[in-house]
Amino acid sequence: MKPKLLVARPIFQSVIDSLSEKFEVTSNQSDQAWTPDAWQQAIASHDAALTTGSDPINALVLGAQPRLKIAANMAVGFNNFDVPAMTTLGVIASNTPDVLTETTADFGFALIMATARRMTESEHYLRAGLWKQWRYDMFAGAEVHGSTLGILGMGRIGQAIARRGALGFGMKVFYHNRSPLDAATENECKATYVDKETLLKTADHLVLVLPYSAASHHSIGSKEIAQMKPTATLVNIARGGIVDDAALALALKNKQIAAAGLDVFEGEPAVHPDLLTLPNVVLTPHIASSTVKTRLAMAQLAADNLVSFFATGHALTPLNQVPAKSAT
């Protein structure tokens, strides 16, 4: 008997086809969001799940004696998982590190550029037929090359952004992290560790790339924004909730900082209504990892975690260790 696998969201048909050789696959390709009850019921009748960052796995979803043995997240971030609860209940958690690092860093840089150089704001102006003549100060933005880049959170993606800034754009790169990088990695990224206050005060462009947790909730709120330069831009490609979006909207409205580029939002896909009306913010729908190649690599790594677990008892990129609950 093949193990039963629940694929929570639409993914590549080729990945589903290959998973179907090893699993009895139930695949939600309808793109209908699960109600909490339907999700809990679906999880209860499966041995494995392939989830995305919007699908919660926690004690409530799992119940006291889960049938589920593994949830493979098609994301590097895993704040949709309660990993300690999964460990207690004997459920393996895995994510998709590395395969999206460079692509996500590219997008972080795209948002820095679009925000600093007012690309979407000026495009809307052009599309609205408002462009009548050249003006010396038309959509004058902030310099990117040679400016100071601040990075909050210096994991793999933060480091990839640092390399782009330092080596490609001649930026001075400062970062803040729970702990400094080792000297060799710092040197490779051409980045200097500073405290959070110095980071906020010195950055011309501040990029957030830290994981979401209770500890990082509202890492950027009105107090932090007040310490930033009035000419600064803020980019969030990490997770909704790391920024207090209401405080940011107010700060953008009052020109406390110049502009923001946001790929993630508190309570997404809902977006704070004030952000939707402001011209000095670039908004994208959580697409930083979205190239065809990278999304396929993410889906494939999530699938490989499942296949590996059921073949060997070990996932390839696990987030926890649990005492062996029979994989078969």
For residue 278, give the 3-state DSSP assignment.
Answer: coil
Contact status: 77 vs ligand 8YV (CB under 6 A): yes
DSSP strand E in 168-232: where? 172-176, 191-193, 205-208
In angstroms, the CA 172 to CA 169 distance is 9
| Range 149-158 burial, b when 16+ CB lie within 10 A, else e | bbbbbbbbbb
Q: How many residues bind ligand 8YV (CB under 6 A)?
A: 8
Please choose, out of 15-23, 72-80, 172-180, 227-235, the segment that lies near ligand 8YV by the rule CB under 6 A.
72-80
Q: Which is nearer to ligand 8YV, 180 or 211 (CB)?
A: 211
Beta strands in 22-152 (DSSP E): 24-27, 48-51, 70-73, 92-94, 148-152
Which CB sits closer to ligand 8YV, 11 or 144?
11
Among positions 6, 25, 71, 75, the unique one binding ligand 8YV when judged by CB under 6 A: 75
- The tokens for 303 are 């699938």
Q: CB-based burial of residue 54 (10 Å sphere; 0-12 exposed, 13-18 middle, 19+ buried)? A: middle
Contact by Cβ (8 Å): 173, 189:
yes
Q: Residue 239 catalytic?
A: yes
Name the packing angle between helices 156-163 and 101-116 (round to 10°): 50
Select the span of 75-83, 130-138, 246-254, 277-285 touching ligand 8YV (CB under 6 A): 75-83
Q: What's the rounded Cα separation, in Å, for the pair 268 and 236?
A: 13
CA dihedral 242, 244, 248, 251 (to 10 degrees): -130
CA distances from 271 to 260, 264, 288 (A): 14, 9, 17
Beta carbon nearer to ligand 8YV, 84 or 285: 285
- As measured in angstroms, the least distance from the Cβ of 95 to ligand 8YV is 8
Q: Which is nearer to ligand 8YV, 80 or 308 (CB)?
A: 80
State the DSSP code for 214.
Answer: G
Q: Is 157 in the site for ligand 8YV (CB under 6 A)?
A: no
Q: Is 289 in the site for ligand 8YV (CB under 6 A)?
A: yes
CB of 145 to ligand 8YV, least distance (A): 27
Residues 52-71: x where in contact with ligand 8YV by CB under 6 A, - otherwise, as a string:
xx------------------
Q: Is the Cβ of residue 75 or residue 306 nearer to ligand 8YV in the bound state?
A: 75
74 lines the binding site for ligand 8YV (CB under 6 A): yes
Beta strand residue intervals within the chain, DSSP E: 4-7, 24-27, 48-51, 70-73, 92-94, 148-152, 172-176, 191-193, 205-208, 233-236, 259-262, 281-283
Q: Confirm or reject binding of residue 282 to ligand 8YV (CB under 6 A).
A: no
Spatial CA neighbour of 287 closest among 53, 72, 28, 96: 53
Shortest spacing between CB 61 and ligand 8YV, in angstroms: 17
Min. distance of Cβ 136 from ligand 8YV in angstroms?
A: 40
**Which parts of 98-127 interact with ligand 8YV (CB under 6 A)?**
100
Cβ proximity to ligand 8YV, 289 vs 317, nearer residue:
289
The secondary structure element, H or E, covering residue 119 is: helix 119-127
Interface with ligand 8YV, residue 76, by CB under 6 A: yes
Nearest distance from C-beta of residue 288 to ligand 8YV, angstroms: 6
Please tell me which residue in 164, 239, 272, 295 is annotated as part of the active site: 239
User: Among residues 79 and 177, whose Cβ is nearest to ligand 8YV?
Assistant: 79
Binding site for ligand 8YV (CB under 6 A): 52-53, 74-77, 100, 289
What residues are labeled active site? Answer: 239, 268, 286
